[in-house]
Amino acid sequence: MDPPRWLLVFLFRPLRLLIAFVVLAFVSIQLAMRYGQHNPNSNFFDPTLETFQNPISDARTTEARNWIEQMDLRLQEGNVPVQRFKSASGIASGPELAVVFLTVRRPHEQYLDASIGSFLMDIPNLQRPKIHVSVSSGELDPTNQPFFSSAWLHGLVDQIVVRKEPKEPYLPATMASRKDQPHAALTVMQKPLVNLANKNSRTNDWQRAGTSDYSIAMEICEKTNGRYCLIVEDDVVFKKGWYNIFEQSLRKAEERTHAKGTQQWAYLRLFYAEKYFGWENEEVQKLVLCCSLIVGSVAIFILVFGRVPARYATIAGVRSKMDLMRAHEGLDHDERKIGRGGMARARLPFASQLLILLMTLFYCVLFILSGRNLIYKVPEGVSLMNTRGCCTQATLYPNEVVRPLKDHIRQNIGLMPYHNLINRWLDAHDKDRLAISPPLVQHVGAGSPKALLEESYVRSTPLWSFAFEQQQQKVSNV
């Protein structure tokens, strides 16, 4: 059976093959630009105002802050059902989930209200008593925290952890005058001492303070004795309907544990940024080698199987003797114009062979430039993310790893940033790191899209999840 005539026309007429190649290359580049504009690892990434559109996180931030305002008014009036917002005191073994929000005073916009509001407003009433919520302030003077004297903060959370006791009364007047209205317990936890031997050029004061604060958050979880510990930074928002998805994902993570027979996973990410999913240096070397092998294999294939029956040239429309000679570049005289199959054979034109090799090389390069996560997407649901994952904006730990991980961080404060300390410990103990995709949390503390553009986007910033903004608002009915 002969190949299609249109294919033979392209193979035996290099000019047409060149035109087809140019058209295919143009279309391929346009598609790569379209699908790569939201991929910070792609060479086609386009950091424009449209690229950083954040409709979901903006809407969620507004919704959460409106909810916080309503709760604040109701708390001042004293008509909020306590069980809805307080952990049940009868849970002797600790809550099902211990949550710690790490907060500091920020120079511009504060996000703690949106973060806690988006977290609490989707938790069912029956589940709230099983969840212990703490807020840990990194300020040396707790009154520097803008929300420290807010009624909603003391009425909605279960514990507020500060570095030292406030000197002045801090409860809102309406709450202080109502002894029958419970409010958050105030706990003082001083920052752990930094081992002077660990101070080096790899960390600065800000990083050491962050490591100390994170170890305090893990200590809070340890003392609460929750089955799971969720540590959240205060500049994030949770997506609508996050809690139902979270419960499903946690069950899947536990199923992985039961399937392996041991406690293998050490944390579950609720947030990740795509900018850390690019090609690694060692992968680029392998990719170059693979591309070389592919192009070389195609070249060998053309050399070995580049002879085709001479009648294909006639089918392609090469009719004159001169055209036939140019197209065939001469018949195979070594076989006396007769191929192994008992028919005259001829080679494809040299220009066609060269174009085929160039097309192969072009698509190999386009594959690399398009970015790794455009090809290897993070699977939806719970998946393994031992590498490339970042960062610690919202991370869930099982109870079993909280204490040893906290001790490891405390012993090495100042040695390196705490996320590096965490990964070092996990690597040493062969623990898996899991992630939920699409993320349940967006990092909104990076600033507005307009501000990001004015600062001229670079690869190192910002911590942003494009998958969060692109996902549809689908709320699980489980």
pLDDT at 326 over 70: no
**Residue 353 domain flag:** yes
The answer on 212 and 67 residing in a single domain is yes
Single-letter amino acid, residue 151? A
The answer on 137 and 218 residing in a single domain is yes
Alpha helices by DSSP H, 370-447: 372-375, 399-411, 418-428
Domain total in the chain: 2
Dihedral in degrees, nearest 10, Cα atoms 164, 168, 173, 179: 60
**Coil, strand or helix: which one is 26?**
helix
The answer on 220 and 129 residing in a single domain is yes
Identify the top-confidence range among 76-80, 175-179, 234-238, 387-391. Answer: 234-238
List the one residue out of 58, 161, 149, 158 whose CA is nearest residue 111. 58
pLDDT recorded at residue 179: 64
Distance CA 156, CA 120 (A): 8
List the one residue out of 7, 27, 26 whose CA is nearest residue 17. 7
The answer on 399 and 364 residing in a single domain is no
List the one residue out of 243, 146, 254, 218 whose CA is nearest residue 441. 243
pLDDT at 331 over 50: no
List the one residue out of 154, 197, 199, 157 whose CA is nearest residue 178. 154
Distance CA 261, CA 277 (A): 30
Distance CA 8, CA 317 (A): 9
**Residue 257 domain flag:** no
* pLDDT bracket for residue 335 (50, 70, 90): very low
Tell me the per-residue pLDDT of 34-85, one tens digit each, with 9 for 90 and over: 888 778 888 888 777 566 778 889 999 999 999 999 988 888 877 766 554 4
The answer on 90 and 160 residing in a single domain is yes
Full residue range of the structural domain in which residue 338 is found: 5-36+279-370
The answer on 105 and 137 residing in a single domain is yes
**322 neighbors 329 (Cβ within 8 angstroms):** no
The answer on 401 and 359 residing in a single domain is no
**Residue 267 domain flag:** no
- Greater confidence (390 vs 189) lies with 189
Kindly state the average pLDDT of the residues 330-345: 45
For the chain, the 3-state helix, strand and coil shares in percent, each to the nearest 5, are 50, 15, 40
Single-letter amino acid, residue 211? T
- The pTM for the full model equals 0.80
**What token pair was written down for 47?**
């950091």
Angle between helices 112-120 and 55-77 (to 10 degrees): 80
Q: Give the dihedral sign, CA 333/335/341/343.
A: positive
pLDDT recorded at residue 177: 63
DSSP character string of 161-177? EESS--SS--S-HHHHT
**Residue 468 domain flag:** no
Distance CA 251, CA 264 (A): 14
Distance CA 128, CA 132 (A): 8
Give the DSSP letter of residue 239. P
Cis omega (within 30 of 0) on the bond before 438?
yes
- CATH number of the domain within which 153 lies: 3.90.550
Tell me the per-residue pLDDT of 206-221, one tens digit each, with 9 for 90 and over: 788 889 999 999 999 9
pLDDT recorded at residue 13: 75
Residue 278 neighbours by CB distance under 10 Å: 17
pLDDT recorded at residue 196: 66
**Residue 457 domain flag:** no
Alpha helices by DSSP H, 306-347: 311-315, 321-328
Distance CA 25, CA 37 (A): 18
Kindly state the average pLDDT of the residues 432-439: 92
Q: What percent of the chain has pLDDT over 70?
A: 74
**188 neighbors 56 (Cβ within 8 angstroms):** no
Kindly state the average pLDDT of the residues 88-100: 73
* pLDDT bracket for residue 447 (50, 70, 90): very low
**Residue 325 domain flag:** yes
Considering the chain, what is the average pLDDT of its residues?
A: 79
Strands 432-437 and 265-269: parallel
The answer on 301 and 410 residing in a single domain is no
Q: Which of 42-56, 137-151, 374-388 has the lowest mean pLDDT?
A: 42-56
Single-letter amino acid, residue 72? D
The answer on 104 and 28 residing in a single domain is no
The answer on 231 and 103 residing in a single domain is yes
Strands 185-188 and 159-162: parallel
**What token pair was written down for 370?**
């398009």
Distance CA 207, CA 215 (A): 12
pLDDT at 265 over 70: yes
Distance CA 440, CA 467 (A): 10
The answer on 219 and 324 residing in a single domain is no
**184 neighbors 157 (Cβ within 8 angstroms):** yes
Kindly state the average pLDDT of the residues 112-117: 95
**Residue 216 domain flag:** yes
**Residue 150 domain flag:** yes
The answer on 219 and 110 residing in a single domain is yes
**Coil, strand or helix: which one is 24?**
helix
